[in-house]
Amino acid sequence: MRYDLNLLPIFIALMEERSVTRAAERLGMTQPALSNALSRLRVMLRDQLFIRERYGIQPTAVAQELAPGIAEALARLDDAVLGQQDFDPAKADRLLTIAPNGYVEFVLVPAIVARLRQVAPGIRLRLTPYSNDLVETGITSGTTALVLGRIVDPPDNLVVQHLMDEGLACVVRADHPEVGDTLTREGFERLRHVNVVPPGRMRAGLFQAMAEQRLRREVAISVTNFFAVAEMVAVTDYCATLPELICRRLAHDPRLKVLPSPVDLGTFPVEMAWHVRYRHDPAHRWLRSLIAEVAGRMVRPL
């Protein structure tokens, strides 16, 4: 029996997207064309494969059984073909989508863009929102090239690389009436605090670290991103506990001063993840190397 191999990426897209509409958008097809391809898939694989439900489609038992083998076969083909392609970053013209969390967008992305401008001006980045649900970022389907942040419980089709470990420090306004050159535990607990609640697991990690150290914190206000903290702290007597690299940026603001945390709050990992199909894509591999290099240069004691 002869197989139409062009149908197999469509099968994987449907498996990962669980939606005919999203799969069609991902593949650059019209919905009628994708529906026609699904009909041919059903004939070729001798099964219904996907059942329509209220909020999309669900794979049959046969589809679930076939999916890992087909995905692995396609990954091997990608490795064989892409591994033979040459890549010249200076001449490349490509748009790549990445999903950084708020911390990475503040600390790493500007440095990544600056480096790209120097060595690969034709490579452009599009940022898409980071989410605790990796499916929503597009990384599990491969439509997003990279997700950067703290990767928890990644699915089997993602490769995760550790970039660095980050610590925490405190920031208050420079002329704070109650804080001198150091911040004691008692002083920390007397202050009111700005709490940052970005998407991701760092929030849970910070609360857990404080609980383990039995460090109390009265939260005066919660904000949704790091960009709001400097202005908030500069005009109040509040304190904020932030990643050290963000504090290093804020230390250049004469209205603010950065102090070590009164207790050891440990570190949190910063990671990068990508779909297995990009393992040997030369452009993707080169970008991963550049990001790891940029992250490595930033890590130094505060």
Checking if the pLDDT of 62 tops 80, the result is yes
CATH 3.40.190.10 describes domain 94-163+270-298: yes
* Verdict on whether the full-model pTM lies above 0.75: no
Q: Would you say 201 and 184 are in contact if contact means Cβ atoms under 8 Å apart?
A: no
Q: How many residues does the chain have?
A: 302
Q: Which CATH architecture has domain 168-266?
A: 3-Layer(aba) Sandwich (3.40)
Q: Which stretch of 56-60, 201-205, 261-265 has the lowest confidence by average pLDDT?
A: 201-205
149-195, pLDDT tens digit by residue?
989 888 888 999 999 999 999 999 999 999 999 999 999 999 999 99
109: Cα separation from own chain's centroid: 11
d(CA 104, CA 109): 6
CB burial of residue 297 (10 Å; 0-12, 13-18, 19+): exposed
Q: Are 44 and 82 in contact (CB under 8 A)?
A: no
* Domain pair 94-163+270-298 / 168-266, same fold: yes
Residue 299's pLDDT band, with cuts at 50, 70 and 90, is confident
Q: 131: which residues sit within 8 A by CB, 6+ positions away?
A: 99, 137, 199
With cut-offs at 50, 70 and 90, classify the pLDDT of residue 300.
low
pLDDT for 159: 93
Q: Are 150 and 269 in contact (CB under 8 A)?
A: yes
Note the helical H segments in the chain: 7-17, 20-27, 31-45, 61-82, 102-107, 109-119, 134-137, 185-190, 202-212, 229-234, 244-250, 282-298
- Does the pLDDT of residue 124 top 80, yes or no? yes
Q: Look at residue 281 in the predicted model and tell me its pLDDT.
A: 83
pLDDT band at 209 (very low <50, low <70, confident <90, very high): confident
The tokens 């064309």 sit on which residue?
Answer: 33
d(CA 151, CA 106): 18
Residues 5-19: tens digit of each pLDDT: 889 889 988 988 888
> What number is the average pLDDT over the span 39-54?
92
Rounded to an integer, the average pLDDT of 120-149 is 87
At 169, the amino acid letter reads A
* Per-residue tokens: 62: 């046969």
Question: Cα–Cα distance between 184 and 287 in angstroms, integer?
Answer: 43
Q: Which residue has the higher pLDDT, 29 or 220?
A: 220
- Mean pLDDT within 65-81: 77
Alpha-carbon span 83 to 92, nearest angstrom:
16
What CATH class does 7-82 carry? Answer: mainly alpha
Q: Where are the chain's structural domains?
A: 7-82, 94-163+270-298, 168-266
Q: Residue 200: its pLDDT value, please?
A: 47
Residue 56: predicted pLDDT: 85
pLDDT given at position 274:
94
The CA distance from 198 to 271, in Å, is 16
Greatest CA separation for the chain: 81
**What is the spatial distance between Cα 128 and Cα 144, in angstroms, rounded to a whole number?**
8
Between CA 214 and CA 234 the distance in angstroms is 27
Indicate if the pLDDT at residue 256 is higher than 90: yes
Whether 98 has a pLDDT exceeding 90, the answer reads yes
What band does 75 get if pLDDT is binned at 50, 70 and 90?
confident
| b/e code 256-269 from CB counts within 10 Å (16+ = b) | bbbbebbeebeebb
8-state DSSP, 151: -
3-state secondary structure 176-202: CCCCCCCCCHHHHHHCEEEEECCCCCH
The pLDDT of 194-222, averaged and rounded, is 79
pLDDT band at residue 197 using 50, 70 and 90 as cut-offs: confident
Contact between 185 and 239 (Cβ < 8 Å): no
Higher pLDDT, 130 or 301: 130
With contact defined as beta carbons under 8 Å apart, do 196 and 226 qualify?
yes
Mean pLDDT rounded to a whole number for the chain: 88
| The pLDDT value given to residue 302 | 46
